[in-house]
Amino acid sequence: MTARPKIVAINGSERDGNTAHVLRYAAKIAEARGVDFDTVDLRTIRMGPCGPCGDCNRRTVPCVVDDDVPAVVERMSAADGVIYATPVHGFAAGALMQTFIERSGVGYLRFTRPLTNKVGGAIVLARRYSASVAYQHLLMNLLLNRMILVGSGFPAEVHALHVGEAAEDEEGLIHVRRMVDRMIDMIEFLREYRALGGREDALTPRERNERLGLPVENFADEVVDNVHG
Ligand SMILES: Cc1cc2nc3c(=O)[nH]c(=O)nc-3n(C[C@H](O)[C@H](O)[C@H](O)COP(=O)(O)O)c2cc1C
């Protein structure tokens, strides 16, 4: 955990477009509250698709595909909050975000769930159709990684087609602002709580298993995750 609170945002758009615009808006809100905001543009990193090995769910060590995904996982793991932001393509999250979810999730995150108890948020850009489908898709993956979601009113869905139109969706941007503000409220709350309790980090999976009375040797619940991807 860094000295100043930090949010890492994952941008799943192929262009410097509406998603990037909304994340710059979110960054300004965060920075005004003393929170660092680090955006990872998936279009600029080396990221391959899942390979043909098909052995993810049996592997006991991380993925062997050699690209920048593990470095992004490290950046998320060092943050207090994580935002997944994606445009809708073909009625669902765009391909870059889907690839990232597959590669980071099954390849790395499933082993120790390093995003446990970080504050999660989702932002979806769409012309109009299926924003809610993509939003739920992102939420399920934030929850799979045991992140904490804060209620922030209506979903942070921004309606825009051409580059620049996101700035015109005032209602969508209100919900983005509210979500970022509520994420920061929760990050501050958790930091204060941990400081008062003398704890710097969230529970590790091993500590959590001990507390729940589950086996700590082989992380029984991780095995279930492994089976179901
Ligand atoms: C290949 C493709 C498929 C799209 N499919 C949808 C769709 O199913 N529903 C929708 O509302 N918008 C769809 N859109 C529009 C984008 O979601 C919209 O333009 C968004 O603002 C793009 O965000 P960006 O500028 O950050 O890439 C699609 C755009 C592309 C390029």
82 class by beta-carbon count within 10 Å (0-12 exposed, 13-18 middle, 19+ buried): buried
- Structural domain including 196 reads 6-201
pLDDT digits (tens, 9 = 90+) for 182-201: 999 999 999 998 888 766 66
Which residue's C-alpha comes closest to atom 3 of ligand 1?
A: 89
Residues of the chain predicted below pLDDT 50? 218-229
Which residue's C-alpha comes closest to atom 1 of ligand 1?
A: 89
pLDDT score for 229: 41
Domain-located, residue 226: no
Of 128, 124, 50, give the one whose Cα is nearest residue 93. Answer: 124
Which residue's C-alpha comes closest to atom 2 of ligand 1?
A: 89
Domain-located, residue 222: no
| Cα angle value 25/5/124 (rounded, 5°) | 35
- Among 161, 163, 176, name the best residue to mutate to test ligand 1's pocket (greatest count of ligand atoms within 8 A of Cβ): 161
pLDDT score for 1: 61
**49-63 burial code (b ≥16 CB/10 A, e <16):** eeeeeeebeeeeebb
Domain-located, residue 143: yes
Q: How far apart are the first and last CA of the chain?
A: 28
Domain-located, residue 216: no
Closest atom of ligand 1 to CA, residue 158:
21
pLDDT digits (tens, 9 = 90+) for 23-59: 999 999 999 999 999 999 999 999 999 988 888 878 8
Domain-located, residue 213: no
Domain-located, residue 146: yes
pLDDT score for 9: 99
- Whether 4 lines ligand 1, by a CB cut-off of 6 Å, is no
pLDDT score for 163: 98
Domain-located, residue 208: no
| Cα angle value 136/72/216 (rounded, 5°) | 80
Q: What is the CATH number of the domain that holds 101?
A: 3.40.50.360
Closest atom of ligand 1 to CA, residue 88:
17
- Whether 154 lines ligand 1, by a CB cut-off of 6 Å, is no
- Whether 19 lines ligand 1, by a CB cut-off of 6 Å, is yes
Number of domains in the chain: 1
pLDDT score for 216: 63
